[in-house]
Structure 1
Amino acid sequence: MSSEVLVSKPQYDRAVVPGLLDEGAPRELEAAQPSSGLVTAGFRSAKYTPAEWFSSYRSLLQQAGADHLSAQTIQQESRILCEDTETTTVHNQTNGTRLLGERLQDIHRWKSELQEHINRLVADTEALQAMKMRLEKALDATETPYAIATDNLTCRSRRLGPDLVLDCVEEELLKEVDLIKSVQALLKRTMAQVATQIKLNREAKQTLEFDWSDKYEAYTLDNQCGRYNNKSTDTQHHAVSTSMLEQISNIPSWVNFTQDNINKALREEKATHNLRELAEQVLLDTTKDLRVQCYNVDQAFLQRCAEQMDAKIQLEMKLKQTLEQIGAQERNIVALQKAIQDKDAPQRVAESRLYHRSLRPNMELCRDEPQLSLEREVKQIGATLESLQQQLSDARRSLSQLEESRMALEKDIMCKGHSLFIEREKCMTQRKLYPTISTLSGY
């Protein structure tokens, strides 16, 4: 086996470390000294020269020194960087905690304002519901006066004869019916407006509740975030959360969104206030109008009843007088008949005398004074009888007219009594059931 060593000698770049050798070191020749011979060739191939030895350990010393200086620089920079990053991190965390606290105050302020308007809308809605119930009760209450007025008209249509007249009571009752119909239509329109406003209030309240719920959840999350610190055990890494989310709102849009919701609630609150005042005024006006018309109808009834009572009294007095006249006329007829009968005997006597004297013979048939007297007597009795017959005929005709007047008076008195019964017993008794002011106002 050959004794030649096959390990190559390390190469050093002497140009990299110039001046490594100082003046005391032995100078190496540019070329290697010739070998003693082939016998030492295997021992020379794996060895360094003294210059290479000096170059090697001085290079290590220089590299270690450079590494030391670099390490010191890095250590100083690291210490400064750690201090700076610690300060920045603490400052950023403190600032983040402060901003979270301010954000919590803003959310709490808006949430409190939302809650206030929600409570107002709830109160307004309850007030509108109460107003709607009042309107419904008032509408139901108008059915009673409507039934009374129509029944009064129906009852008065059963008046008899000349009493079936379009008088002031009839006109006032027709006005009352028209007024009640218009009041009912107005109450129905007001109820529809109230129902619509209740729906709008509930929609606005729902919008505010959604916003309040979102802010409550955001407040809870931000409050939890504000409680996190470096010693919290429930924190973990969320790499995705550091990126800005798409479609995220900004502060102006966030404020404008809540402010728009509040402005809508304010509009509905103002509309509710105006509608409540309008409904209250409608109830007040309709109640006043109905009661005024009821008073007018009652006064017309009283006036009409007084007129009918006066007419009935006058008719009864005239009937009494007529009955007295009928009695007197009947007695007069009897007297006339007796007077006519009483003239029968004198007439017979006078006519008998004339007849017998007309039998006188020859020259004795003379127009003497007895004859003339008898003729005058017969003519006078005839004229008297004719006058008495004419008077009797006039008396009988008068009696017939008195009887007709009596029947007409009795019929008219009966009509007046029937009308008074309708007015007082039927109509005015029913009108006592007219609703009160509180009932017509919906209470």
Structure 2
Amino acid sequence: MAQTDVLVTKQPAPQSVPPCELPPKVYEVARNTGAHTSSGLATAGFRTAKYLEDEWFQNCYARYHQAFADRDRSERQRHESRQLAAETEALAQRTQQDSTRKVGQRLEDMHCWTSELRREGGDLAAEAGLLRAETRRLERALDATALPFCIATDNLQCRERRQHPDLVRDCVELELLKEAELVRNIQELLKRTIAQAVNQIRLNLEHKETCELDWSDKVEAYNIDERCARYGSQSTDVQFHPHSAANAESASTPETWAKFTQDNLCGAQRERRASANLRALIDCVLRDAAEDLRLQCDAVNLAFQRRCEELEDARHKLQNHLNKTLREIVDQEHNVAALKQAIKDKEAPLRVAQTRLYQRSQRPNVELCRDTAQFRLMSEVEELNMSLAALREKLLEAEQSLRNLEDTRMSLEKDIAVKTNSLFIDRQKCMAHRARYPTVLQLAGYQ
């Protein structure tokens, strides 16, 4: 409590009391009475060291004056005392009222700050709850990305079981590699974002705790000041505390007090804004990640569809060629059989012609003539031999062609089996597995 200077009216210095003057007549009588007078000898035995009458009067007058002066001084002191008491009473009332008003103003300030701290603490708690919800979305989205990565790697592993010549680095494999890399990058991004969100939640809770501690201190101080504001001169629960007016060395000033709370509020608001911005970033990251994954999934599915169409078309064409080849093999087999029969059919005329030549070579003497018949038989044998040679050559060609057709048939059947296997892997294994791909809502962490 501020000490109050009390103004006390300065008392005038007491004036010296003038010596009391006796009346002239009495003075003269006293002056003519002494030891050398005629009456002095007769009364010599009665005269002792006594005060004179004028001294007696003087003493009386002095007492009167002293009593008057004391009464006057006492009256002035009483008046001044009453005046001082009234002034100090009024000063004390004014001081108490001013102190009560100051305490009331302090209560208003603390009420305002406590309201701000309570509101900011509640906002931070709500913001921390919202950020926790976004963190759970991130965790669900991270869990949801495990399936696309598993699907992509499984598709790549399944397609490794393709047979030559279908074991190619086609557009499907390129898209699958891009998908696996995209999922891995998104997983790393989500993990970093989760760590950032957890750290931001920790900062929110720390500033919330700081605001709550400041709010708790202010509530306690508010209760103390409210109790102090109710104290009055008529209060019965007040007592003397002589050393309470001394200021503590660690006491703050109104400026540092306000700055401390303002810094706490600014820090809380800064973290709350950072948390809100992070939530917006998380929502954007999840939305973009889900869209990117779905777009890449659609690209992979489209590549699978195109590749399956190519494989189906190639298998269909191979099947057509196989059917034609099989028909050609049947025709060629018939041709080989016909050639063999033709060769067999030429053996009898050749035997006949050769037998005729042999028999005619047995003619005696001059009858062994190279006549027209001989020349015709010889030409017939030559023609038959040439025909047989041509037929045998053609038979060899037909048999080689038949073998080539058989090899082609086997190659076509093997290629068709390879294409069928590739189609089975792409359609039944890969595309059927890709039907379990998460939805956009799951990738965004909503489910």
Q: If the length of structure 1 is used for normalisation, what is the TM-score?
A: 0.92
User: Is the alpha carbon distance of 1:217 and 1:16 closer, same or farther for their aligned partners in structure 2, counting shifts above 3 Å?
Assistant: closer
Kindly indicate whether residue 216 of structure 2 is the aligned counterpart of residue 213 of structure 1. yes
Cα distance in 2 between the residues matched to 1:138 and 1:329: 65
Q: What are the Cα deviations for residues 203-227 of structure 1, in whole angstroms up to 9, with x where unaligned?
A: 1111111111111111111111111
What residue in structure 2 maps to residue 154 of structure 1?
Answer: 157
Indicate conservation of the 8 Å contact 2:17/2:65, yes or no: no
Kindly indicate whether residue 319 of structure 2 is the aligned counterpart of residue 316 of structure 1. yes
- RMSD of aligned Cα (Å): 2.0
- DSSP 3-state at the match of 1:442: coil
Cα distance in 2 between the residues matched to 1:39 and 1:109: 100
Indicate conservation of the 8 Å contact 1:319/1:409, yes or no: yes
Kindly indicate whether residue 338 of structure 2 is the aligned counterpart of residue 335 of structure 1. yes
Kindly indicate whether residue 249 of structure 2 is the aligned counterpart of residue 254 of structure 1. no
Cα distance in 2 between the residues matched to 1:170 and 1:315: 24
Query: How big is the shift at 1:36?
Result: 6.1
Q: How is 1:408-419 mapped onto 2 (pairs within 5 angstroms)?
A: 408-419=411-422
Cα distance in 1 between the residues matched to 2:209 and 2:349: 121
What residue in structure 1 maps to residue 291 of structure 2?
Answer: 288
Cα distance in 2 between the residues matched to 1:36 and 1:177: 155
What residue in structure 1 maps to residue 12 of structure 2?
Answer: none
Query: How big is the shift at 1:348?
Result: 0.2
Query: How big is the shift at 1:136?
Result: 0.8
Structure 2 runs not aligned, ≥5 long: 1-15
Cα distance in 1 between the residues matched to 2:100 and 2:32: 74
Q: Which runs of 4+ in 1 moved over 3 A?
A: 26-41
Kindly indicate whether residue 61 of structure 2 is the aligned counterpart of residue 58 of structure 1. yes
Cα distance in 2 between the residues matched to 1:195 and 1:278: 14
- DSSP 3-state at the match of 1:241: coil
Q: What are the Cα deviations for residues 388-428 of structure 1, in whole angstroms up to 9, with x where unaligned?
A: 00010001000100110111111111111111111111111
Structure 1 runs not aligned, ≥5 long: 1-14
Q: Which of 44, 48, 52 is the matching residue for 1:44?
A: 48
What residue in structure 2 maps to residue 22 of structure 1?
Answer: 23
Cα distance in 2 between the residues matched to 1:376 and 1:16: 201
Cα distance in 1 between the residues matched to 2:361 and 2:75: 201
User: Is the alpha carbon distance of 1:207 and 1:31 closer, same or farther for their aligned partners in structure 2, counting shifts above 3 Å?
Assistant: farther
What residue in structure 2 maps to residue 33 of structure 1?
Answer: 35
Cα distance in 1 between the residues matched to 2:282 and 2:123: 19
Q: Decide which moves more: 412-421 or 52-61.
A: 52-61
Q: Decide which moves more: 308-317 or 166-175.
A: 308-317
Query: How big is the shift at 1:49?
Result: 2.9
What residue in structure 2 maps to residue 300 of structure 1?
Answer: 303
What residue in structure 2 maps to residue 356 of structure 1?
Answer: 359
What residue in structure 2 maps to residue 391 of structure 1?
Answer: 394
- DSSP 3-state at the match of 1:110: helix
What residue in structure 1 maps to residue 196 of structure 2?
Answer: 193
Cα distance in 1 between the residues matched to 2:360 and 2:249: 158
User: Is the alpha carbon distance of 1:310 and 1:58 closer, same or farther for their aligned partners in structure 2, counting shifts above 3 Å?
Assistant: same
Q: What are the Cα deviations for residues 267-326 of structure 1, in whole angstroms up to 9, with x where unaligned?
A: 111111111111111101111110011111111111111111111111111111111111
Q: What are the Cα deviations for residues 149-194 of structure 1, in whole angstroms up to 9, with x where unaligned?
A: 1111111101112111111111111111100110001101111111
Q: Which of 58, 72, 78 is the matching residue for 1:75?
A: 78
Query: How big is the shift at 1:32?
Result: 6.5
Q: What are the Cα deviations for residues 60-116 of structure 1, in whole angstroms up to 9, with x where unaligned?
A: 111001011101111211122122122211111112212211111111111111111
State how many pairs are aligned. Answer: 427
Query: How big is the shift at 1:135?
Result: 0.6
Indicate conservation of the 8 Å contact 1:20/1:58, yes or no: no
Counterpart AA for 1:155 = C
- DSSP 3-state at the match of 1:162: coil
User: Is the alpha carbon distance of 1:24 and 1:69 closer, same or farther for their aligned partners in structure 2, counting shifts above 3 Å?
Assistant: farther
Give % identity. Answer: 47
Query: How big is the shift at 1:20?
Result: 3.2
Cα distance in 1 between the residues matched to 2:377 and 2:234: 167
Counterpart AA for 2:374 = Q
What residue in structure 2 maps to residue 433 of structure 1?
Answer: 436
Cα distance in 1 between the residues matched to 2:97 and 2:427: 92
Indicate conservation of the 8 Å contact 2:20/2:62, yes or no: no
What residue in structure 1 maps to residue 5 of structure 2?
Answer: none
Query: How big is the shift at 1:332?
Result: 0.9
Counterpart AA for 2:412 = L
Q: What are the Cα deviations for residues 233-288 of structure 1, in whole angstroms up to 9, with x where unaligned?
A: 11111111122332322222221111111111121111111111111111011111
User: Is the alpha carbon distance of 1:40 and 1:219 closer, same or farther for their aligned partners in structure 2, counting shifts above 3 Å?
Assistant: same
User: Is the alpha carbon distance of 1:200 and 1:366 closer, same or farther for their aligned partners in structure 2, counting shifts above 3 Å?
Assistant: same
Q: Decide which moves more: 85-94 or 115-124.
A: 85-94
- DSSP 3-state at the match of 2:232: coil
Indicate conservation of the 8 Å contact 2:20/2:58, yes or no: no
Q: If the length of structure 2 is used for normalisation, what is the TM-score?
A: 0.91
Q: Which of 405, 409, 416 is the matching residue for 1:402?
A: 405
Cα distance in 2 between the residues matched to 1:24 and 1:247: 83
Cα distance in 1 between the residues matched to 2:338 and 2:242: 141
- DSSP 3-state at the match of 2:417: helix
- DSSP 3-state at the match of 1:172: helix
Indicate conservation of the 8 Å contact 2:343/2:388, yes or no: yes
Indicate conservation of the 8 Å contact 1:337/1:392, yes or no: yes
Cα distance in 1 between the residues matched to 2:354 and 2:365: 21
